[in-house]
Homo-oligomer: A and B are copies of this chain.
C-alpha cells in the first residue's frame, strides 16, 4: 500500500520549479522532462521491487554483530546491487569521475522514492553520496581516483565519522587524534559513535570520512581536520590491501532505521590506523559545513518520505475501512460509512498531506538552490542564492523532522488499533522518523544555527532574500480571488516575523543568552511561515491549472490543503511570535535545582 504519488512528483518538479531552476544549466542539458520521468520510472520500479519487500523484515531482524563482522539480510545487498546497476550511485557526480551529472532536484526526487520504500536500505547509498561529495569537492586527484571513482560506481560505500561517545552536538570537543607519520600520512587514534553504515560486508571497501585533531593545532572547531580512513588500505591500481586499523566496537540497537547499521568504531586501537588528510589542515569542519546543506536537506527528505509512505497507507485504509456513521445519521440499521467520511479522519489526512507536500516543495526548492549555487556564474546571483539556501537549510532539515513525524503519528491514528501493530507499516515509519529530529544536528541545534547564525549574518541578508521571494508569490496569489485572503495573511505573518527578528537581533547584541533562549520556537515559527509560502505557491498554480484542463480533483486537493494549512497551522506562528517578542525567559529562569 506504500505508493509513490507520481502526479504530485510531476507537479512538484515541473510546475513548482520553472524549467530554468530544474535543469537550466548546460551541465544538466540531458535532463529534460522525458529523461527525468524515465529516471523516476526506473527508481520507482527498483524501489518497489527490491527495496520495499524486505523493509519490514530488516526492521524486525536488525543486522547483528557476530564474529567481528556484521550480518545483514542478503536482500539489502541485492537491492543495492540493483541500485548500482541503474547507475544511481553516480547521480550528481561529474562525468569525469564516472557520474551522471544529475541535477540535485532530480536526485532529491530519486532519494525521496527510495526512502519511501525502505529508508534503512536507502541509507547506504545516501551516506556514500555524502562522503563522496566531500572527496569530490576537497580531495586531491589521487584521492578521487582511488576512492571517489569506486564510490561513484557503487563498489565502495562511505560513512561520515563526526560524533564521539562524549561529543555529539559539541564537535569542538572531539578527542580523536591524527598524528603525522614518517610516510607523510596520519595515524588516527580515538573512538567514533553513531556511525551509520559504520560497518557491513556488502561493499568492497568502506571509505570513512573522519574528523580528528592534529596535535598542536588551534583549540575547538578551528583545530579539526578531515581524513579519509578506508576500511581496507588501497595498494595502487585499485587493488585492495590489508585491513586498516578501524574496528567495529559494537552496533547500536535503535528504535528505528534498523536496516542501516549504526556503529561505534575504534581507530588505531590494536592495529595502526592510517588516515589521509583531505585538503588543508584544520579546515575539516569548514569542509563539512560546506557539504552540510545537502546532508541536512537529505534528512528533511527522509523525514518527508517516511511521512509520505504513512500518508499513502492511511489514505488507502481510510477509503476502505467502514466504521461508524455521521453525527446526523446515527440509525444503527443504516450501513456504516468509510472512515474517510468522518471530519476528524479528514483532519488527520489533511494534516499529513499538508506536511508531506508542503515539506516536499521546500526540499525540492532547496535542492534547486543547491544546483544554482554550484552552477551560477554570476557571483551576485550565486551569493544571494547561497544566502537564501543557508537560511532555509535548518528549516528544511527541521520542519519535516518535527511535523512529518507528527504526520506519521496521525497515520497510526487513522488505522486505530491496527496501526499500532506490525501488520501495517505505519508504526515502523513512526519509529524510523523519530530519528530525524536528532541526527545531523538536533532540533535545538538547528534553532541556534538559524537564529544565532543564519539570521544574523550579513546584516540579515538571508531573511531579506526570503522576504523578496515570498512577496513575489504573495503578489501572484493576490490576483486569484480565492487566494487573496491567504496572500494577505501570509504577508502579515511575514511582516510580523521581520519585526520579531529585528527585536531578537537587537537583543542578541546585548544579551545573546536571552535572545537565543527561544531559538527552537523561532525555528518552528519561521518554518510555519515558509511552509505557508510553499502552500500558497502550490495553491496559486493549482488555481490557474483548474481553469485549464488539469486534473480537477488533484488541483482542488491542493487548494484545500493550502486552506487547511492557513486555517489550522499558520495561526500558531503568531502565538509563538508573542513569546519571542517579549524575550520570554521562562526556560532560562528555571533553575536546575527546582526540577
Contacts from A to B (Cβ < 8 Å): 163, 166-170, 172-173, 193-194, 219-222, 252-256, 315, 319, 322-328, 331-333, 336, 338, 340-350, 353, 409, 412-413, 416-417, 419-423, 427, 430-431, 434-435, 437-439, 442-444, 447-448, 452, 511-513, 516-520, 553-554, 556-557, 560, 563-564, 567-568, 571-572, 574-575, 578-579, 584, 586-595
Residue of A173, A328, A592 with highest tally of chain B CB at under 10 A: A592
CB pair A255 B420 closer than 8 Å: yes
CB proximity of A58 to chain B, nearest CB, Å: 16
CB pair B438 A586 closer than 8 Å: no
CB pair B452 A434 closer than 8 Å: no
CB pair B564 A590 closer than 8 Å: yes
CB pair A417 B315 closer than 8 Å: no
CB pair A336 B427 closer than 8 Å: no
Alpha-carbon distance A455/B130, docked complex (angstroms): 56
> A343 contacts which of B252, B324, B513 (Cβ < 8 Å)?
B513
CB pair A560 B586 closer than 8 Å: yes
> A413 contacts which of B222, B254, B256, B442 (Cβ < 8 Å)?
B442
> A513 contacts which of B326, B430, B511 (Cβ < 8 Å)?
B326
CB pair A444 B344 closer than 8 Å: yes
CB pair B567 A579 closer than 8 Å: yes
Alpha-carbon distance A189/B256, docked complex (angstroms): 40
Chain B residues whose C-beta falls within 8 Å of the C-beta of A427 in the assembled complex: 254-255, 434
CB pair A344 B520 closer than 8 Å: yes
CB pair B587 A347 closer than 8 Å: yes
Chain B residues whose C-beta falls within 8 Å of the C-beta of A194 in the assembled complex: 417
CB proximity of A263 to chain B, nearest CB, Å: 12
**Can you list 7 A-B contacts with CB-CB less than 8 angstroms, sorted by A residue number?**
A252-B421, A253-B422, A327-B452, A340-B595, A344-B587, A420-B434, A560-B590
CB pair A344 B419 closer than 8 Å: no
Give the oligomeric copy count. 2
Closest to A511 in B: B328
Q: Please classify the interface of chain A as helix (H, G, I), strand (E, B), loop, or mixed, using the class held by over half of its residues.
A: helix
CB pair B416 A594 closer than 8 Å: no
> A443 contacts which of B163, B413, B518 (Cβ < 8 Å)?
B413
CB pair A420 B435 closer than 8 Å: yes
Chain B residues whose C-beta falls within 8 Å of the C-beta of A589 in the assembled complex: 560
> A323 contacts which of B168, B443, B586 (Cβ < 8 Å)?
B168
Closest to A332 in B: B220
Chain B residues whose C-beta falls within 8 Å of the C-beta of A517 in the assembled complex: 343
CB proximity of A240 to chain B, nearest CB, Å: 31
14 more CB-based (< 8 A) A-B contacts, given A170-B324, A338-B592: A170-B323, A173-B323, A173-B336, A220-B333, A327-B513, A328-B511, A340-B595, A343-B517, A344-B587, A350-B587, A553-B591, A567-B584, A572-B572, A575-B575
Alpha-carbon distance A313/B91, docked complex (angstroms): 44
CB pair A575 B571 closer than 8 Å: yes
CB pair B172 A332 closer than 8 Å: yes
Alpha-carbon distance A590/B347, docked complex (angstroms): 9
CB proximity of A193 to chain B, nearest CB, Å: 7
Alpha-carbon distance A438/B167, docked complex (angstroms): 38
Chain B residues whose C-beta falls within 8 Å of the C-beta of A554 in the assembled complex: 594
Alpha-carbon distance A563/B590, docked complex (angstroms): 10
Alpha-carbon distance A593/B551, docked complex (angstroms): 11
Alpha-carbon distance A587/B565, docked complex (angstroms): 11
> A512 contacts which of B323, B327, B443, B593 (Cβ < 8 Å)?
B327
Alpha-carbon distance A587/B567, docked complex (angstroms): 10
Chain B residues whose C-beta falls within 8 Å of the C-beta of A448 in the assembled complex: 327, 344
Contact of A219 with B567 at beta-carbon distance under 8 Å, contacts A254-B421, A437-B413 already known: no
Closest to A333 in B: B219
Alpha-carbon distance A587/B560, docked complex (angstroms): 9
Chain B residues whose C-beta falls within 8 Å of the C-beta of A557 in the assembled complex: 590, 594-595
Contact of A169 with B324 at beta-carbon distance under 8 Å, contacts A347-B520, A519-B344 already known: yes
